[in-house]
Structure 1
């Protein structure tokens, strides 16, 4: 009796043998890897264990230690520390591939189990320098104090991780003698007044920075803010409602952290809706009150807070001539405080109508706050 399937079966057996042989050959074929900077070839056992057994790395086993680092049992820690292509691996059987870069070093110590108590160490904002420009630098990250009590040794160990403190760098700009000044307006937009201010700025081809109050950006206010933005002026927030309520209309420091943040973020939202773009994260706080707690609470939300070194005193309504005289006394790098809102600002309008052409005749150029921030800090002393 003949079995026609026998030749096919035989062929299949041969194919399996060939495939198996190829697979065995590929598995046993040496691969080139780099171990601790040395180029080597691994044959059988292409893994961390093979590297150690072949003597290409001779890691020392770590110890079993107490919470304070004292050795309780030598050689009872981790057998090795290994990285494959910068990724940490713990299994000695980790399979390696040709071209892998392997680092093998001594094993880490193993610490006894412990009872841990963790306390948060809050970060603080560090104050540096003086001046009208207040720039927040760095991210605030809380530190910690961990108290460990060893289950075996009974020892106590305290581990401190210092907080990462951001810096509020306060400074005067060093313009190198360049006659630039930053003209700023608070408390707008304000019907009629803001429009008149914008007309005067346009007539004189100068730029200014407006610190707006968010709840005043109503339908008419949106148009005024959009016009100011389109004409190249910098639009910033002076908070949403000028710290009303708990802030008594003048001091964010009297408000909770949540209220402070809301004042700023809602102010941003009002500007964003008016101009159709993300607002500047440069702000001015009501009353210029920018104490340490306010700095800490607002630091993640702002890039800078802007004070002033020339107060036009227009809020006192001393008369247009007196306001103009204050402005005419400007110097290179000065930040001037004026108001386009918050009440009758007709004196301010008349004052800038007089002072701006005068200052231009003296060679001054008007810049936005962002442009002033681009100048380096003046050396103290």
Structure 2
């Protein structure tokens, strides 16, 4: 089972629907500062053989703050009704697991934990420069604050995936009701922000359980993971991130981050990685 980095708040302490709207009145800047604070060391989810969809510890350290202790957001749309899909026993780890007809040379860039008012616009500009579409796994609390960035992500042709409302870790240790609320609330705010209802879900830290798989399927989503993790969230240095991503092969799903902390190293690495992978003959696809 995943190892918790720090105690997680109870369900009563999680942002949910009535008071998150009031949260925005505290000011986007202070919220963003709290939401992006505090990275700590951890082990990547794929450092060993996966449990259902992950190994031991969370692979990133996004930890939203609790400004004003918001509890809920009222007036948001219910998730768009989606037909349930078959429950999977494991997450998708490679492009062709999800897209069997994708080009043989396809890779997928996935970008987690945003949107960030600082780093997401830079990420979008970089992707435009190299004409690459990516898959953004967004955190609902951030999506609610930065609706314009969700609209921009969708308008540029990127896929928006559900990454829970507040990125609690370890996600599988929560109750079934808490897991469902995290997924439903994120789905609601993503739709409210102007993106299509996500059909993909990524669990925080690549942490999976039968309950998570069943809930994701209930809302018509496919669980997605990754197989190339440069641990960019830990800021290991641009050379490290670059070398890990340059090792990508056809079919790989690459994990990067635009939220949860200082992502300048990630951006600097991608300035080298994106054109280099294209020069190797790899093509980027959205999931």
Query: How high is the TM-score relative to the length of structure 1?
Result: 0.50
Q: Are 2:247 and 1:329 aligned? A: yes
Q: Distance in 1 between matches of 2:166 and 2:207?
A: 15
Deviation at 1:240, TM superposition (A): 0.5
| Cα offsets for 1:49-75 (capped at 9, x unmatched) | xxxxxxxxxxxxxxxxxxxxxxxxxxx
Q: Are 2:214 and 1:288 aligned? A: no
Runs (4 or more) in structure 1 with deviation over 6 Å come to: none
Q: Are 2:241 and 1:320 aligned? A: no
Q: Are 2:130 and 1:204 aligned? A: yes
Q: 1:261 aligns with which of 171, 174, 180?
A: 180
Q: Report the counterpart of residue 191 of structure 2 in structure 1.
A: 272
Q: Distance in 1 between matches of 2:223 and 2:234?
A: 23
Q: Report the counterpart of residue 165 of structure 2 in structure 1.
A: 240
| 3-state DSSP of counterpart to 1:311 | coil
| Distance change (3 Å), C-alpha of 1:368 and 1:263 | same
Deviation at 1:315, TM superposition (A): 1.3
CA contact (8 A) 1:282 1:305 kept: yes
| Cα offsets for 1:88-146 (capped at 9, x unmatched) | xxxxxxxxxxxxxxxxxxxxxxxxxxxxxxxxxxxxxxxxxx989xxx953xxxxxxxx
Deviation at 1:229, TM superposition (A): 0.4
Q: Report the counterpart of residue 110 of structure 2 in structure 1.
A: 184
Q: Report the counterpart of residue 267 of structure 2 in structure 1.
A: 349
Q: Distance in 1 between matches of 2:53 and 2:204?
A: 17
Alignment of 1:169-180 (within 5 A): 172=94, 173=96, 178-180=104-106
Q: Quote the RMSD (CA, aligned, Å).
A: 2.3
| 3-state DSSP of counterpart to 2:117 | coil
Q: Distance in 2 between matches of 1:203 and 1:355?
A: 13
Q: Report the counterpart of residue 231 of structure 1 in structure 2.
A: 156
Consecutive unaligned residues of structure 2, counting only runs of 5 or more, are 1-51, 55-83
Q: Report the counterpart of residue 4 of structure 2 in structure 1.
A: none
CA contact (8 A) 2:53 2:206 kept: no
Q: Distance in 1 between matches of 2:121 and 2:265?
A: 14
CA contact (8 A) 1:137 1:168 kept: no
Deviation at 1:342, TM superposition (A): 0.2
Q: Distance in 2 between matches of 1:353 and 1:251?
A: 32
Deviation at 1:237, TM superposition (A): 1.2
Q: Distance in 2 between matches of 1:330 and 1:175?
A: 19
CA contact (8 A) 1:187 1:341 kept: yes
| Distance change (3 Å), C-alpha of 1:217 and 1:131 | closer
Deviation at 1:302, TM superposition (A): 3.7
Query: How high is the TM-score relative to the length of structure 2?
Result: 0.66
CA contact (8 A) 1:241 1:263 kept: yes
Aligned residues: 203
Q: Distance in 2 between matches of 1:363 and 1:251?
A: 37
Q: Report the counterpart of residue 168 of structure 1 in structure 2.
A: 89
Alignment of 1:70-85 (within 5 A): none
Deviation at 1:364, TM superposition (A): 1.1
| 3-state DSSP of counterpart to 2:136 | strand
| 3-state DSSP of counterpart to 2:193 | helix
Alignment of 1:43-122 (within 5 A): none
CA contact (8 A) 2:148 2:193 kept: yes
Larger RCO of the pair (alpha carbons < 8 Å, separation 6+): 2
| Distance change (3 Å), C-alpha of 1:255 and 1:354 | same
| 3-state DSSP of counterpart to 1:184 | strand
Deviation at 1:232, TM superposition (A): 0.2
